[in-house]
Structures are given as C-alpha cells and as structure tokens.
Amino acid sequence: MKLRNIAIIAHVDHGKTTLVDNLLAQSGTFRDNERHDERAMDSNDLEKERGITILAKATSVEWNNTRINIVDTPGHADFGGEVERILNMVDGAVILVDASEGPMPQTKFVLGKALKVGLRPIVAINKIDRTDERHQEVLNEIFDLFVSLDATEEQLDFPVLYGSGRSGWMATEPEGPQDQGLTPLFDMILKHVPEPDTAGKDEPFKMIGTILEANPFLGRLITGRIQAGSIKPNQPVKVLDGQGKLLESGRISKILAFRGLDRVPLDYAEAGDIVAIAGLSKGTVADTFCDPAVTEPLHAQPIDPPTVTMSFLVNDSPLAGTEGDKVTSRVIRDRLLKEAEGNVALKIEEASDRDSFYVSGRGELQLAVLIETMRREGFELGISRPRVVMQKGENGEILEPIEEVVIDVDEEHSGVVVQKMSERKAEMVALRPSGGDRQRLVFHAPTRGLIGYQSELLTDTRGTAIMNRLFHSYAPFKGELAGRNTGVLISTDAGESVAFAMFHLEDRGPMVIEAGVKVYAGMIIGIHTRENDLEVNVLKGKKLTNMRASGKDEAIKLTPPIRMTLDRALSWIQDDELVEVTPKTIRLRKLYLDSNERKRFEKSRKAA
C-alpha cells in the first residue's frame, strides 16, 4: 500500500482536532453504528476539560489504496516542543487558519519550523461559515507570512482549500461545493504530499524517538518514523544519544502501527512508516534507535530553550499529608524526572537542600498542566511564583526573554490595554483593525511582565479580549516592574474558619476561603485592601451568654469568596508566598509560616 505522512498544524482553537474527527469518519475508519467521542484524539482528561490539545498523537486513515499517517499537534505555544519534533517525521503538513482570525502567533511559529525542515504545506482556511469570515484578506496575510519566513519559490506556490472542519467539507472555492465532504482535502494530500523516501530501506535499521509514553502492559513505547531499513519483533537494536554514546542494547518485543484510533501489532515495518516500538527501558525522545552495526546517530532537531521556571517544594504545611499520599521528595523527584524524559521542553534541577526542585518550561500553562496532572495522581506540593529564565550576553549583560503578544480587543477597551502593557515595559509594534469594531494590538513584551496579566486583561475588557503569546527573542534587561499593589490577610491561628469572624473582616478585603474551612497560622485567607499584609483571627466566634437577646439572631450572609484556580493562584502570588497544591484543595500561604521569621526575611530583603 502507498504511504503518506502528514501533520496538521495550526494556532490553538482553529479546529485541528475536529478536522481529524471528520477525516477519520469520512475515510470509513469508524463503523456506521460505532459510537465515538467528539475530539476523539484528545484522550487525556485535561485535554477534554480545557478544550486544547496538549500531547501530539498519531493516527492513520486509508484513502484510494493509500495509507495516510496523520499527526495531530498541539496549538498552544507552551507545548511547541511537541510540534518541533513531530515535523521531523512527516513529509507534508496541512496548515489550518481561521477564516476570521487569520494567522496568529502559533501559526507563525509552526509554519516557520515546517518551512525550515523543507515541507511544502497545504493551506486550509477553516470556519468559512463564520459570519465575520474574511477569507481574501486572510489569504493575503498567509502569503505575506510565507514571504516573511523566507519561503522558497516552491513553498510559496501553496495549494489553498476553503471549508468547515466541523461541518466536514473542504473545497477549492469558498462557496463550495459542500456535497463532496473532505474528498478534495484527501485528493490534495495524495497529489501534493510526496511519498516517504524509501531509498534507504536496504540499509541497517534507524529511527529517531519522537513521542514517549508508558503502557501498563508493554512498558515504554517510543513512537517515531523509520528513517532507514526495516524492523521485526525480537530484532536486536541499540540506542544512541545525540553524541553517539551507547545508552542500552536490547530486543524489540512489539511493533505497533496506528490504524484509526487503535494500535495494531505488526510482524514487519520498513522505512517511511510511523510506528511505536516496545521492549527498551532507557531510550527516550531525540535518541536514535538503530541496528547494532550503526555507529552514527541521526540528527535531532534542536529545541527552543525554556523561558519560565518554578520551584516545586515538599509540602511542609501543618496540613501536609492529610489529603495526598505522595508527599516525599524522593517520590516527587522520580515523577519529575519521568516527565522530563518524555517532554524535551522541560528541564529539571535539584536544589541544594534536596527538598525542592527547579522545573523550567515554555510557559505558565505548560507547568500548570504538569502540576494539575501530578495533583490528580495524589501528589502534595508547594509551588513558588513563576520566575523568568535569564541569560548572559556576550558582554556579560543580563538578557531576558521577550514575547510577541497579539491581543484582539473591542475598540472601546484598547486604551486600557495599551496603558497596562506599557506599565509592563511592553513596546507596541502594530495596531490594525481585525473586523467587527475590533482591533489587533501587537506588542513585544518581557515574559516576566506578562505573568498574571491574563486574568487582569479579562477583567479590564469584560472578558472580550483574546491574548496570544509567542517567544520572540532575548533582549537586554528592561528594568524593574511594579509588583502587586495589595497585601494579604494572614491567619494567626490553626482551626476552622468561622462565619462570624469573617463577616467582621469583610471591610478589610475580599476573602479567598469559605467559612468552615481548615486554616493554619501563616495561611492566606484574603486580599487586603491596602499595600501591607495584615494578620487576622478568623477563628473568633460570637460571645454567648445565658441572657436572651431581644432581637432574633439573624443568619450571617457572607460575600462569596474569590475562587483561586491553579492558574490564577500561580500568577497572583508574590516571591514570599507559595501555592499549596493537594488532590482536593488549592491553598495560598506565606513561605515562612511564623510571623517572626517573616519579619526577619523582610528585613534581610530590604537590607539587600
């Protein structure tokens, strides 16, 4: 059977996974009576809840006697490490662009990577049925983007399809016809995407690891594309790292191919096919899996460096160990190292005290997803505020990461967005209308200035703004930024919060906990209306006497507390505060729980 390998790449929310659903359905992968979930490729619980793709996944469909291996990739910049590796194992790409929003930062990022490895993308303008679609302008913007990314003459001669992934049709014209379904897209893939290079099928076996996952029955599964040679179960192989050092030798116990949503065992696979292999215990992503005779490793695509780091600490609060069962530093260390094996965009370092770990990644969302995953597995952690990874320049100067920020906002709110971004040392580089009384503002802003800005932006614009970010470059340090302008309310004692005490503290600021919640000394229970921190007693009950009051006691009505989600809490805390994460609760606390220690820390910080 003939073969094609393609990746579907796009900005977040432009409809990749929904399009893959319809490609699977229209190719006859599902039986007519078979029930399947919407966004079937988003198999992870967090992917379903957040509505985004986090992990790249492979599938395949059959069309006109050709097997098409399809890789669905994440659209969020924080998970760009997945996309960079995936592009090495495909021969073509379908780049999906929203007919209203046009090319966005992540579109630029993935397209740049695709053009760099020599792919000739097919452009599909999706969501053509939107009322605010502007396909002609979007097509011009895409062409300009190709030119700005130094596309070759061949790459600039890209085919264009229009359609709706949700409705399940694509056509060469915006008006349709719609009755052919996705046939024009399938035909375009067969015509435009070259067959895999099988010139090396008589050479010794070589494959580069691209996706790593753990299977409860087979152990480590490494997915990749066979670059040369062929492979059979029980065949001896060895693993080389990027420098050519031998990591391990072993035998392949199982070869699995992707057939729709299932994995089918194979007796034989050869150059050009995308497969998963089992049987090796150390080989990981970016390593070369090869025949024992091979001495030179395959070249792996370099990965962009991490820009944000957080400290993961052993939970030492008075409530530690009451909700989770994985609380020791050894268990946390093993879990983080396991995560770093499969996720090449993460970097783990152990602190000198051995009770905390520095975890660096592409952005807050990537690290928040890791924390949420660990929390659901039963871990308890203390998490510090995200910090930016600085670099040293050639002259010894400090360089900080700068991001390209694109904000789509209603015209009436653009003033406050420009003001807030300028306070964060951002420079505006473009302002243009984006249709429907909305404006697109483009900034170059330091990463540290954007930490915690998402929730503030939504408040300022009444939830109407859309912000997209992408790493741009390193630039000289832009100076200190103004921090949070409010203090916190800190509990003085341990016990259960009392509604009576909280009612009388409401004029001090909004609460972040409810009545009847376990608290401890040093835990943050509210936001102070002033700049300083305030220690308060939330355990104080009403004084009772044996004299009956003349008026009937009224039930106390408390203002609902501010809900601190994990993402919001991480971006809101200051350097001397932590987020305590357990399987059931997210709490905010001071780094030092004792008030005297906090005062000493504050004095030493001011002296420094």
Q: Is 122 a residue whose pLDDT tops 90?
A: yes
Q: What is the C-alpha separation between 149 and 484, in angstroms, rounded?
A: 39
Question: Binding residue per annotation — 116?
Answer: no
Mean pLDDT of all residues belonging to the chain:
84
Question: Binding residue per annotation — 17?
Answer: yes
391-476 carries CATH number 3.40.50.2300 = no
pLDDT for 188 equals: 92
Are the beta carbons of 2 and 189 closer than 8 angstroms?
A: no
**How far is C-alpha 184 from the chain's CA centre?**
32
Torsion of CA 90, 94, 98, 103, to 10 degrees: 60
Strands 347-350 and 356-361, by their bridges, are antiparallel
457: closest CA among 423, 508, 482? 423
Q: What is the pLDDT of residues 560-600, one digit of tens each?
A: 898 888 888 888 888 889 999 999 999 999 999 998 998 88
In 315-437, where do the E strands start and end? 347-350, 356-361, 381-383, 387-388, 391-392, 398-410, 427-433
Write down the pTM of the prediction. 0.78
pLDDT for 36 equals: 47
Question: Binding residue per annotation — 128?
Answer: yes
CATH architecture of the domain 488-543+555-607 equals: Beta Barrel (2.40)
Q: What is the C-alpha separation between 344 and 250, in angstroms, rounded?
A: 23
Question: Binding residue per annotation — 53?
Answer: no
- DSSP class of residue 273 equals -
Question: Binding residue per annotation — 13?
Answer: yes
Tokens of 419: 């003001």
Tokens of 282: 């150390």
Q: What is the C-alpha separation between 338 and 214, in angstroms, rounded?
A: 10
78: closest CA among 454, 349, 564? 454
> Which CA distances in Å does 130 have to 101, 135, 238, 437?
11, 10, 52, 16
Side chain identity at residue 503, one-letter code: F
Altogether, the residues listed in the chain come to a count of 608
> Which CA distances in Å does 11 have to 76, 230, 240, 434?
7, 35, 34, 17
Tokens of 598: 């906090």
Average pLDDT over residues 136-162: 91
Question: Binding residue per annotation — 16?
Answer: yes
Residue 585: phi and psi, rounded to 5, are -135, 150
CATH number of 206-290: 2.40.30.10
Q: What is the C-alpha separation between 309 and 244, in angstroms, rounded?
A: 30
Instruction: Say which CATH topology domain 2-192 has.
Output: Rossmann fold (3.40.50)
Tokens of 514: 């409810």
The reply to whether 488-543+555-607 shares the fold of 391-476 is no
Q: Where are the domains of the chain?
A: 2-192, 206-290, 391-476, 488-543+555-607
Side chain identity at residue 429, one-letter code: V
Q: What is the pLDDT of residues 208-235, one digit of tens each?
A: 888 887 777 888 888 888 988 899 999 9
Q: What is the pLDDT of residues 439-452, one digit of tens each?
A: 889 999 998 888 87
DSSP string, 58-120: EEEEEETTEEEEEEE---SGGGHHHHHHHGGG-SEEEEEEETTT-S-HHHHHHHHHHHHTT--
Average pLDDT over residues 94-110: 84
Q: What is the C-alpha separation between 193 and 110, in angstroms, rounded?
A: 18
In 477-560, where do the E strands start and end? 488-491, 495-496, 518-519, 523-527, 534-536
> Which CA distances in Å does 362 have to 299, 471, 575?
23, 9, 20
Q: Is 42 a residue whose pLDDT tops 60?
A: no
Q: Is 7 a residue whose pLDDT tops 50?
A: yes
